[in-house]
Structure 1
Amino acid sequence: MSTHIAVFSLGGTIAMTPGAEGGGAVPTLSGDQLLATVPGLAELDVKIEAIDFRRLPGASLSFDDLRDLAAAIHDSDADGVVVTQGTDSIEETAYLLDLLHTGQVPVVVTGAMRNAALAGPDGPANVLAAIQVAADPAARELGCLVVFADEIHAASRVRKTHSTSVTTFASPNGGAVGHVVEGRPRFLSGPRERVTVRLPAQVRFARVALVTATLGDDGEILRPLVNGCEGLVVAAMGVGHVPAAYLDALTFLAERMPVVLTSRTRAGSVLTHTYGYSGSESDLLDRGLINAGFLHPYKARILLTALLTAGASRSEIEEAFTRAGDARA
């Protein structure tokens, strides 16, 4: 019996064509139309089901869209799932799907940097590789993966690193978990521990802010967050440092909501006790901030949003970030 692969189309560049009278690209292609552009599908021993789920730019997808998608994936009887969407938000949407996906079925997210009307569109090759990964038994129990340019990335690590390059996706902490070689997925890393979150149905998503520490910032941007948010992620300088002007506001906020400490750098971890001055990582952790370890600020915001929406306690939030921020995650 052939493997059943469900392809959920959400829109994005991969589904775009030029607008009327030479206008900019807009999402127009259905899932079936997108699959019709992919060579080599007939040679695969797979049954492909195309599902038009959304037709939106990647930047316009919402938490509710992803919760609905996770529910649809859960209800599907497919042996593997592929999600096509805009690349602008893949590093965030893939991680949210990873958190919400509690089954063993592979979920693979892909997209394109060049729309179908441009020379050398990368969408067809990415879709073919994503289907090959989703159909492979070795991808089971790995949660959500991102497949792009024949590389396989863990959703918890992958980043969009270039605004236009077709090799934009990379995993700075640890690298790709595998490659697609001659049509076959080859995994370099074994199964990893995953953090998953079960969300109540139809509950409003918690509002979590992300603030990046910058040179000379006086911290005034933090004060309005007291009444507007339920959680905060701070993208600190270096290994977890902020301007001294932040300290009063961060101390006040950390007494009232979870405040997660991350690094704004491209790779590496927040430290715990190397520096000891006011505004250093040890000072901030002593003030009640939660260490995100290797977790990137965008992913930390996704995780904190999911945990708060699920009603997690302070200790549960700390434990989840300890696990998710581990270098092996």
Structure 2
Amino acid sequence: MSGKPKVAVIGTGGTISSMGRGPLELIDYGAAGRVLDVHGVLARVPELAEVAEVVPVPFRAIPSTALAWPEWKELLLICDRLAGEHPDLAGIVVTHGTATLEETAYFLSLTLKVALPVVVVGAQRPASALAADGPMNLLNACRVAADPGARGLGALVLLNDEIQAAREVTKTSTLRLQTFRTPDFGCLGHADADAIAWYRRPLRRMAPDTEFDMRGMEALPRVDIAYAYAGADGAAIEAFVAAGAKGIVVAGFAPGYVTPAMSEAMAAAVKQGVAVVTSSRAGSGRAARTTKNAALGFVTADNLTPQKARVLLAPALAHGITDLERVFATY
């Protein structure tokens, strides 16, 4: 026994696991086609042994653009298994590409049924890069997962020494290291060299105390996102309905408005039994619940980004929940 807290690390691939052609290959590193499995990632950070007893859990070695519902369900089941196999487990870390990291993290924060802290971590620079950020991000993620203060916060996101709530964080820059931000409220705390420092707690309902149990589900209902722009008609919404969408999230003009043509198509979708949720494309702030939208049967996403609103709407529809305004006000 090491005497260190035990932390499981599940590797899903992404930039944190990628190897480019050289130390200055910071953007087109995917062209090399080299992605380390979790053992390879951990081997590059021997300092992890100073903060935790790490349990490697192989999963995938792919970009996060290839991760969706099937992998999310597998992650839920793996977390269940780890909690059962390791009663002394302090927490779980999931390495992940940054493209869809926030969506995976929020899904886990809504649907996990284990009380252990789960920290999703990624990197902006590949493992082969000069001054790669992945090793420190991974070490700090393990420290946070093992910290008692991480319990009861749902899934967390750790990059750039900042601890973020899965519900609130979003990727805000393509290349900068400080890309993951919580625009409205700021981070929950910091992973500093001398301590894990906490400053606030999220209030919205989160795992494991949620009404969503996806472990036995075979599929998620189709939910699409339609983007509002000047002159947009209803073609995209009509196409989504024709494709079998059970829900549509609209990324509207701040604070959630759409063009007249889009509104007509949205209203027609509601009449066909499709759940329509209005959000804002601004990336910050609450979508307004107007008298007109309410009369047309549109649901308001609160301050969730369009991609996060989709992640919440799909499990709600899968469980046959109809009071969606309550859901978006609760989670």
Q: Give the structure-1-normalised TM-score.
A: 0.90
1:143 maps to amino acid = G
Q: Which residue of 2 aligns with 1:287?
A: 296
- Is 1:32–2:43 an aligned residue pair? no
Counterpart mapping for 1:3-22 below 5 A: 3-18=5-20
Residue 178 of structure 2 aligns to a residue whose secondary structure is coil
Of 50, 56, 59, which aligns to 1:53?
Answer: 59
**Shift of the alpha carbon at 1:305?**
1.1
Per-residue deviation, residues 128-184 of structure 1 (Å, max 9, x unmatched): 000000000110111100000000000000100111111110011201011011242
2:166 aligned to which of 150, 155, 160: 155
CA distance in 2, matches of 1:23, 1:252: 43
Structure 2 match to 1:241: 257
Residue in 2 that maps onto 1:139? 150
User: Which aligned runs of 4 or more in structure 1 are off by greater than 3 angstroms?
Assistant: none
The CA distance in 1 between the partners of 2:33 and 2:252, in whole Å, is 36
Distance 1:192 1:39 in 2: 36
2:20 and 2:129 in contact (8 A); partners too: no
Asked if 2 retains the 8 angstrom alpha-carbon contact of 1:133 and 1:184, the reply is no
Partner of 1:147, secondary structure, is strand
Give distance in 1, aligned partners of 2:145 and 2:35. Answer: 25
Deviation for aligned residue 1:267 = 0.6
Of 268, 287, 294, which aligns to 1:252? 268
CA distance in 2, matches of 1:250, 1:110: 36
User: Equivalents in 2 of 1:322, 1:193: separation in Å?
Assistant: 8
Q: Which amino acid aligns with 1:314?
A: T
AA of the residue aligned to 2:5:
T
Shift of 1:200: 5.2
Q: Assess if the C-alpha contact under 8 Å between 1:12 and 1:27 holds in 2.
A: no
CA contact (8 A) 1:129 1:183 kept: no
SS across alignment from 1:223: helix
User: Is the contact made by 1:233 and 1:297 (CA closer than 8 Å) also made in structure 2?
Assistant: yes
**Deviation for aligned residue 1:42:** 2.6
Distance change (3 Å), C-alpha of 1:240 and 1:123: same
Q: Which moved more, 1:186-195 or 1:99-108?
A: 186-195
Structure 1 window deviating more from structure 2 (23-32 vs 58-67): it is: 23-32
Aligned to 2:70: 64
1:290–1:318: 8 Å Cα contact kept in structure 2?
yes
Deviations 1:105-147 (A, max 9, x none): 1000001111122111000000000000000011011110000
> What's the secondary structure of 1:73's corresponding residue?
helix
The one-letter code sitting in structure 2 at the alignment partner of 1:5 is V
Say whether residues 1:102 and 2:113 are aligned partners.
yes
1:224 paired residue among 239, 259, 263: 239
- Decide which of 190, 198, 205 is 2:220's aligned counterpart: 205
Change (3 A) 1:200 1:39: closer
Residue 224 of structure 1: SS of its match in structure 2? helix
Residues 147, 153 of structure 1: 8 Å contact kept: yes
> Is there any run of 5+ residues in structure 2 with no aligned partner, and where?
23-28
